[in-house]
Structure 1
Amino acid sequence: MTVWSELTGQDAAIEVFREAARASSGGAAAHPGSGQRMTHSWLVTGPPGSGRSNLAFAFATALISGHPDGDERTRIQVEARSHPDLHVLATEGVIIKRDDVREIVKRSHYAPSVGAHRVIIVEDADRMTEQTSNFLLKELEEPPDRTVWILCAPSEADLIPTIRSRVRSVRLQVPGVADVAALLVRRDGVDEALAEQAARQAQSHIGMAHRLATAPEARERRDETLRLALAVRSASSAVATAARLIEIAGDDAKAIAELRDREEREHALRSLGVAPGQAVPNALRGQLRALEDDQKRRATRTLRDGIDRILVDLSSLFRDVLVVQLGAGVPLVNRELADEIGRAAASASPTTTLATLDAIQTARERIEGNVQPLLALEGMLVSAIRRPDPNRGAA
């Protein structure tokens, strides 16, 4: 088993990183664009769920261990985010500010303590302000020897041109449903039929597919959101449904946060040398309070991510409605609701369904722009009103 074994659908990118790690262990390095295989500034791009962060951490493991396939001890430490030569800049807020990166830039100038390289990973680099990007510019241009920066973002266009010109970019593909399903079976021991369903409903988003495959309550919440949207018959039911969708997103965000917070606390205690069940020494309680404060601050972002996920699921639903209306003959994402989708297709025109899809995208943009989520969902669901006409046949 190698550090790359649990990645899927990214064979070309994995080969790039393996070759770079091999070149690095042999001392080869070059400025981005020089044509050689190893540089000290990287950008990993790809759509949400494509595995940007997973690939970045796998590459970090290979670089720190000094072996193109990594080693088990380094992998465990990197997964726990406890390796002394790994630094991660992530934010649960809307933007990454200059103050957020000041300390990590300082650390980037330290020599590796035990590994072959010191690696700095910036998740969601597209959230950097222009001021922050310019602050990082010099570090990416001339990083210290044996320090490697890995930025992650949805696309190159999300970063300023001067950043793009100083990194080597590796673009990830959306993995296929079969690839994601196979990963769930291999890694998580999920039944093949459930793995296929989860991968399909998650539209190949690896993290969401894992959650749908391993958490029955997540599948139940998703099913309820789709059925609620299909049942909207009036403006008053749109308002009531919007309120219920906010509740569902809140329940899901709470479940995700509780699991993540518990795992983070356990990792923090282990890294501080506190055994399970042991009382936390007074000298260490300040660090745990800081962790708890961070967890509370990201609660709003977690809820917004949950609402956005609901909107993505609704996009897949009305996409399926449009597929049936147009007789496109392509597979449905939500195959389990085929009968309900057929009835919804018969109750409106393709033009109406397209307007609903546009409204869903508008709602996502409004929420990202700090419009009250409840108001955005109400406006979107009004466009989803379906009034069945017994005299109308299926399109």
Structure 2
Amino acid sequence: MIWSQVVGQPDAIAVLRGAATAAAGVVDGAGSGAGMIHAWLFTGPPGSGRSVAARAFAAALQCVAGSGCGECPGCRTTMAGTHADVRLVVPEGLSISVAEMRALVQTSARRPTGGRWQVVIIEDADRLTEGAANALLKAIEEPPQRTVFLLCAPSDHPDDVPVTIRSRCRPVPLRTPAPAAIAEVLRDRDGIDEQTAGWAASVCGGHVGRARRLATDPAARDRRAAVLRIPLHLGRLADVFECADDLVKTAEADASEVSGARDEAEKDALKTAMGHGGTGKGAVGATRGSAGAIKELERRQKSRATRTQRDALDLALVDLAGFYRDVLVSTGGAPATLTHPDHAEHIDKAARTWSPESTLRRLEAVLSCREAIELNVKPRIAIEAMLTALHRG
């Protein structure tokens, strides 16, 4: 069944399965629909599976059996992202614009074409601009009879999701999956050997997708190892700039690798659609009028590359923060599980060398860097300032 893809969330699954059953009763005229509402807010830490849970719920809503069997066309097409009545909004840039949200709201007002419900999934709903949030609010306040909105956000804090929206949504809080549950998924679903699966689950910070990348991608393992070498390799001031350069260049390379081929394909497709290379009547005029569309595409691609670079840097900063957190755990002799158990020797060495106050200052420098980058400080400047603070202690 599709619920097997939602890892380590038994309470949330029970709520969603009950709502899907109630929704089936509404469509079939066999129930009152108690427990089913038109707006849901999935919250939880990174890697908890917010979007996966939302897709599974969407599949259950489209399921002919009303349970998420995983075999019917409704389940299969929803999970594959090809269902005509399930729209997925994945922000590729820094935010979700009001124009994009207005267009989505208009589409969501239609009746389902072939499915049982019209479902709108908004990943990273915390990236809604103020105008986009207001446009969505109007739709949630007066939803069409057969439309369901599924919003995903890190938390239900007003800074993430406006109070006016979250007050009209039923919350679905998700928790960080246990390492044992993640390892089981890697073994059973991805065919990864037990030792590798156990290691990846123990160092991924509860992020299922990260665990899969670490288990299958040697480059991802190398990037993580390079980041975790930084705390004990800042002996000279020159090391600060060298490490900063490595971090920024790695993030830029990741963004280029992810976006490069896709950017060119999108641009070629747009040029073809706008008549580039054509020789027929009107081809010259069509080509001349395509300049604005190409410029808008390039703007969106630049925004997507910026977001990809920031995400890569943020992942490195999360690993660094986890290292300093582990040093504090080791210094205090707490029984808490280490974030990076495979670097326990380096963590113990740092705990013997640094004072707790110095470690805490380093941790605060990493967290401040994350905040600075989110506030549009140039990544290289923010990274160099952070590494300088780490060097000084």
What aligned pairs does 1:198-237 form with structure 2 within 5 A after superposition? 198-237=200-239
**TM-score in terms of structure 1 length:** 0.85
Moved more, 135-144 or 88-97: 88-97
Letter in 2 for 1:128: L
1:11 and 1:254, CA in 2 relative to 1: closer, same or farther beyond 3 A?
A: farther
Letter in 2 for 1:183: V
Aligned counterparts of 2:182 and 2:81: Cα–Cα separation in 1: 25
The one-character-per-residue Cα deviations of 1:151-194 (angstroms, maximum 9, x if unpaired) are 11111112222212211111111111111111111111112221
Letter in 2 for 1:36: A
User: What secondary structure, in the 3-state scheme, does the structure 1 residue paired with 2:368 have?
Assistant: helix
What is the identity percentage for the equivalent residue pairs of Structure 1 and Structure 2?
Answer: 44
Cross-structure match for 1:144: 144
- Contact 2:94/2:303 (CA < 8 Å) preserved in 1? no
Aligned counterparts of 1:375 and 1:293: Cα–Cα separation in 2: 24
The one-character-per-residue Cα deviations of 1:242-289 (angstroms, maximum 9, x if unpaired) are 111112223334445579x59xx89xxxxxxxxxxxx99955999xx8
1:180 aligns with 2:179: no
Moved more, 290-299 or 353-362: 290-299
Letter in 2 for 1:248: T
1:193 aligns with 2:192: no
What aligned pairs does 1:259-270 form with structure 2 within 5 A after superposition? 261=262
User: What secondary structure, in the 3-state scheme, does the structure 1 residue paired with 2:92 have?
Assistant: coil
Cross-structure match for 2:39: 41
Q: Give ranges in structure 2 of 5+ residues lacking alignment.
A: 277-293
Moved more, 361-370 or 120-129: 120-129
1:104 and 1:351, CA in 2 relative to 1: closer, same or farther beyond 3 A?
A: same
Cross-structure match for 2:287: none
- Contact 1:323/1:330 (CA < 8 Å) preserved in 2? yes
Q: CA deviation at 1:303?
A: 0.7
Cross-structure match for 1:245: 247
Q: CA deviation at 1:142?
A: 1.8
- Contact 1:347/1:386 (CA < 8 Å) preserved in 2? no
Cross-structure match for 2:49: 51
Aligned counterparts of 1:292 and 1:214: Cα–Cα separation in 2: 32
Letter in 1 for 2:181: D
Cross-structure match for 2:25: 26
Letter in 2 for 1:143: P
What aligned pairs does 1:233-382 form with structure 2 within 5 A after superposition? 233-257=235-259, 261=262, 297-382=303-388
- Contact 1:234/1:382 (CA < 8 Å) preserved in 2? no
Cross-structure match for 1:159: 161
Aligned counterparts of 1:35 and 1:107: Cα–Cα separation in 2: 24
1:370 and 1:39, CA in 2 relative to 1: closer, same or farther beyond 3 A?
A: same
Cross-structure match for 2:284: none
Q: CA deviation at 1:371?
A: 0.6
Letter in 2 for 1:243: D
**TM-score in terms of structure 2 length:** 0.85
Q: CA deviation at 1:35?
A: 10
User: What secondary structure, in the 3-state scheme, does the structure 2 residue paired with 1:170 have?
Assistant: strand
- Contact 1:17/1:59 (CA < 8 Å) preserved in 2? yes
Letter in 1 for 2:320: L
The one-character-per-residue Cα deviations of 1:277-324 (angstroms, maximum 9, x if unpaired) are xx99955999xx898985554111011000000000001111122222
Letter in 2 for 1:219: R
Across the aligned residues of Structure 1 and Structure 2, the Cα RMSD in angstroms comes to 3.0
Q: Provide runs of 4+ in structure 1 moved above 3 Å.
A: 251-259, 279-286, 289-297
Q: CA deviation at 1:138?
A: 2.1
Q: CA deviation at 1:200?
A: 2.0
Question: Which of 360, 382, 389 is equivalent to 1:383?
Answer: 389
1:364 and 1:11, CA in 2 relative to 1: closer, same or farther beyond 3 A?
A: same
Aligned counterparts of 2:297 and 2:181: Cα–Cα separation in 1: 36
Moved more, 351-360 or 246-255: 246-255
1:216 and 1:89, CA in 2 relative to 1: closer, same or farther beyond 3 A?
A: same
Q: CA deviation at 1:125?
A: 0.9
1:292 and 1:164, CA in 2 relative to 1: closer, same or farther beyond 3 A?
A: same
